[in-house]
Amino acid sequence: MGNSKLRNPVESGRICNLCGGTSFRLLHAWEPEHLRNSAAITVGFWECACKLAFLDPLPQLVQLPSNGDWWTTERKEVRRNVSFKKVRERLQNLVFGTPEARLIQQTRQLVPTGRLLDIGCGTGKLLEQARPYFQCHGLEPSEYAATEVRSRGFRVIQATLEDAPLESDDKYTVVTMDSVLEHLTDPVGTLVKINRLIPLGGVVVIKVPKLWGPTHQSLGREWNGFRVGYHTIMFSGQTLANVLRATGFEPTRRPRRDRPFDDILIMWGRKVAELPADPEALAKTIARRRAA
């Protein structure tokens, strides 16, 4: 097994997406044979000195089942205590509402109504909850998922955020990303794009698995939050707040889900600053906001 030894990402010229630094330590590694590794290569999660964690090397699409389509049934998925988890989930949903319903109700504490864009809308669970209160649009690269959501009457653009034909004068008062940001390689660039889609005072909502939550701490690399091969960036409350601040948002104190016992992190960021269009001025602004 020639590739079982991982090389520090510095050697391939990688720099931290958040701080631009190059001081990385290995958190976990998974060989291709590992039960949770969907990729055909050894991959690792690395942590920058600024605490942002990222996958390296990044598997190419051909090294993932069905060319990386998240909706494939061929990716490795190991579940623990399925029946216990299912029962607990059902009870929680009964008492508190589904996670999607709660996310929308909490978001409405900040923005009660308006236009909402759900990036990576999947099969439309969140859009369904938002529909009574917001004019809803979805963005979804998977043809399977996009077709499914359209059939229920939603307007869905089948594209990634990179390729989407979104007009920046067509503002959204709320932009949601439920379980999406951890799949992308450029969270700062993504939040810059989202900033331009939101008016001042509008809100971005981000839900991601939480690095250093209790299950990660107890299971280490066996934690299924890594979705090995698919999740490319992982956040703690601190690093996600830093990404938000760097890109012109202020994380709200309430609502916010970042308690010590949470394995899932949800953060609401209110847009407090416009970002310059000129790339050089933009880089300076991000660096200044990051340091503040």
Q: In Å, how far are 65, 183, 235 from 54, measured between CA atoms?
A: 21, 10, 9
Measured from the CB atom, the residue of 48 and 111 that comes closer to Zn ion is 48
Quick check: 48 binds Zn ion (CB under 5 A)?
Answer: yes
8 Å CB contact between 112 and 130: no
Q: Which residues pair with 210 in a beta bridge?
A: 235
Quick check: 55 binds Zn ion (CB under 5 A)?
Answer: no
- Window contacting Zn ion (CB under 5 A); options: 32-40, 49-57, 89-97, 184-192: 49-57
Measured from the CB atom, the residue of 10 and 101 that comes closer to Zn ion is 10
Quick check: 53 binds Zn ion (CB under 5 A)?
Answer: no
Measured from the CB atom, the residue of 18 and 197 that comes closer to Zn ion is 18
Name the one residue in this structure whose structure tokens are 């934690």: 223
8 Å CB contact between 207 and 213: no
- Window contacting Zn ion (CB under 5 A); options: 48-56, 106-114, 146-154, 182-190: 48-56
Over its C-alpha atoms, the chain yields an Rg (Å, rounded) of 19
Q: For residues 127 and 162, give the distance between their C-alpha atoms in angstroms, rounded to a whole number.
A: 21
Quick check: 21 binds Zn ion (CB under 5 A)?
Answer: yes
Q: Residue 74 has which token pair? A: 């061929």
Measured from the CB atom, the residue of 29 and 50 that comes closer to Zn ion is 50
Q: Residue 205 has which token pair? A: 């909502």
The least distance separating Zn ion from the CB of residue 28, rounded to whole angstroms, comes to: 18
Name the one residue in this structure whose structure tokens are 């016992």: 261
Q: Which residues pair with 25 in a beta bridge?
A: 47
The least distance separating Zn ion from the CB of residue 22, rounded to whole angstroms, comes to: 9
Measured from the CB atom, the residue of 46 and 249 that comes closer to Zn ion is 46
- Window contacting Zn ion (CB under 5 A); options: 42-50, 74-82, 119-127, 166-174: 42-50
Q: For residues 123 and 145, give the distance between their C-alpha atoms in angstroms, rounded to a whole number.
A: 5
Size of the site for Zn ion (CB under 5 A): 7
Quick check: 50 binds Zn ion (CB under 5 A)?
Answer: yes
Q: For residues 184 and 139, give the distance between their C-alpha atoms in angstroms, rounded to a whole number.
A: 15
Measured from the CB atom, the residue of 52 and 119 that comes closer to Zn ion is 52
Q: Which chain residues interact with Zn ion by CB under 5 A?
A: 16, 18-19, 21, 48, 50, 52
